Amino acid sequence: MVDRPYNVLFLCTGNSARSIIAEAILNKMGAGHFCAYSAGSQPKGRVNPHTIHLLDNLGYDTSGYRSKSWDEFAQAGEPEFDFVFTVCDSAAAEACPVWPGHPATAHWGIPDPADAKGTPAEIAVAFEDAYRMLNQRIAVFTALPLRSIDALSLQSKLREIGQMEGSTANATEEH
């Protein structure tokens, strides 16, 4: 496909938990091969404090994370994406911007840890579960032979990843 790191955008409505977690995981796991970004259709304006706490505890540098609109990435001069993944069902159902370069897309919906109720420990478990599910998906994604796989097989594999454990709705929207 390309001779540079692959640019990947993770989308969620609020860009405060799942998409930020996915961005962090891929930038660490795929360092040198992938450059991950995240955005939301209706960004919360701040990263969920539980997201920051989880990532800090796992050794991630969280200083550069912020909740931002996907409109930022639709501007001239922004990275051209090779892959765009929605990680929440509501973002998957929205009309996304047209991304230059026709990136491969898939829906990797998982439950929103920000919706978790209960004790602090129960909320922490929801965030840990989201991290674990995203980490599994991203590990499978980074192991794909991206430079040698044909587009149809790649699209099929990306959708299969979205159906892994913990998958939410089976969205079929293309982004």
Does the annotation count 35 as an active-site position? no
Q: How far apart are CA 42 and CA 25, in angstroms?
A: 22
Catalytic pick among 12, 20, 25, 84: 12
Catalytic pick among 39, 91, 96, 161: 96
3-class state of residue 75 by DSSP: coil
The number of beta carbons lying within 10 Å of the beta carbon of residue 5 is 15
Q: How far apart are CA 3 and CA 10, in angstroms?
A: 21
Residues in the chain: 175
Catalytic pick among 21, 88, 134, 161: 88
Residue spans of beta strands (DSSP E) within 41-166: 83-86, 104-107
3-class state of residue 77 by DSSP: coil
Active site residues: 12, 88, 96
